[in-house]
Amino acid sequence: MGDRPKLPARYEQVKLLGEGNFAKVYLARHMDTKEEVAIKVMDKEKLIKLGAVQQIKREIAVMRRLRHPNIVQLHKVMACKSRIFVVMEYVRGGPLYRHIPANSGLKEDETRRIFQQLVSALTFCHAQGVYHRDIKPDNLLVDEHGNLKVADFGLSAHADTARREALLHTVCGTPLYVPPEVFARRGYDGAKADAWSCGIVLFVLAAGRKPFRDDDFITLYRTICRGDYRCPRTFSPELVRIVRRLLQPNPAHRITLLQIKETDWFKKGFKEVSFYIDNKDCLRSLDGSEEPDLCDSDSEDETAMSSSSSGSSSPVAHGDGGGMHTSVSAPSLVNLEKMHIAAARAPEPRIRRIKSMNAFDIIASSPSFDLSGLFEERGEQLRFVSSAPVNTIISKLEEIAGQVSFTARTKDCQVSFEATRNGHKGALAISTKIFQLTPELVMVQVCKKAGDTAEYRQFCGSELKPGLRGLVDGLPEDGLPPTLNVA
């Protein structure tokens, strides 16, 4: 990649912020809104050669689910033929370490304020089953108001709900901030590992230096395993106790971040964030309990699905710089020729647009760089993406309903199923809605409205998914759709 790569449309490059093995990060400005953003530019071929696909896949999947005022926000992901563009919040103040006076540290009240924001962000991550595993001042940014922003989730791990208590085994992170159990190559608790790293950060904030000698790796390892460090005399007794409980070499005796939040030292001046406004001006709950519908059911904002497009090839086929597309219109998911033929045969029903669609739900950029599953399941909700004509999808849904003796009612782009006999908790009722992502792609959202959850899941697994085989892009004819499982 050159020093000045062509950025996505409507963004102008301001300067290079930094670079790594397979990515460069640029400060860019939106030409219309003048908003400054950070754009990470990644070369697809280099990602594949360096074996970094899983790391980027994990980082994007994790960041899309973390919406917290003290976590760097992911705005959008775009791609062209050879590059991936990740557009993120620009944090003007830069890395935290630039704001810490060497060998003296910050005053205790300021140390506490920043530490409170770090713990608030990480306990939120842990509640979502996400463990950062590389907490250090380099990955902690400060905005123009002096507030902390956690960044760089490239080494993070995600525990599936069913395996939330499982131990992690990957050795990763920066040695000075890595706990003894990770060095020992035993299974470790991701939350306890993050707590240790927070202890190091807390020490650095208050002292302006590192707690352990790192002249060489052997010395560092021994001092970490022994817990061999001394707190400066400037530390208050309460702060010393917090540091010692966090930098406990035995993870079984180490305090958790949730327990830290209950200490008097931490509580001083702390106000927990309960709700926040996201970049779509929507009120969101930090506990993730409120999962809003993708489209307001009362909205009149509808549009006809486009059936005219120039040519039958992917937009990225016209060259590297041109044909920029968002991740939702990735070429591996689109078959425009099939769309044109179907559009000529029958008019499409009017279809709802997504009111607030998060592109990261369906990221994919090429067959060899698939960043998402084809199906995504969230509790009693199922979503899938298709380039099949809307009429075809509706007909298939009605056919599936008939095969299991369900009553099907269709209105515009919504198909409702209802069982003709009562189940364990009354008649099973299911709603399916079709939303337009792009002129070439639609997303189908399936929700249980009434009835027994076990019966609903059985219907989805044994009838709905097999019946939709062939309508989900890239799905082999002889295979069932996989559920989303992004590490």
Q: Point out the residues that are catalytic.
A: 134
Rounded to whole angstroms, how far apart are CA atoms 203 and 197? 10
Q: What angle do CA 334, 335, 340 make, to 5 degrees?
A: 125
3-state secondary structure the chain: CCCCCCCCCCEEEEEEEEECCCEEEEEEEECCCCCEEEEEEEEHHHHHHCCCHHHHHHHHHHHHHCCCCCECCEEEEEECCCEEEEEEECCCCCEHHHHCCCCCCCCHHHHHHHHHHHHHHHHHHHHCCEECCCCCHHHEEECCCCCEEECCCCCCEECCHHHCCCCECCCCCCHHHCCHHHHCCCCECHHHHHHHHHHHHHHHHHHCCCCCCCCCHHHHHHHHHHCCCCCCCCCCHHHHHHHHHHCCCCHHHCCCHHHHCCCHHHHCCCCCCCEEECCCCCEEECCCCCCCCCCCCCCCCEECCCCCCCCCCCHHHHCCCCCCEEHHHCHHHCCHHHHHHHHHHCCCCCEEECCCCCHHHHCCCECCECCCCCEEEECCEEEEEECCCHHHHHHHHHHHHHHCCEEEEEECCEEEEEECCCEECECCEEEEEEEECCCCCEEEEEEEEECCHHHHHHHHHHHHHHHCCCCCCCCCCCCCCCCCCCC
How crowded is residue 117: how many other Cβ atoms within 10 Å of its Cβ?
Answer: 23
For 207, the token pair is 């002292």
Q: Report CA-CA distances (Å) from 24 to 83, 224, 369, 457.
A: 11, 33, 19, 44
For 420, the token pair is 């003709």
Work out the end-to-end distance of the chain between its first and last CA atoms, rounded to an integer number of angstroms.
28
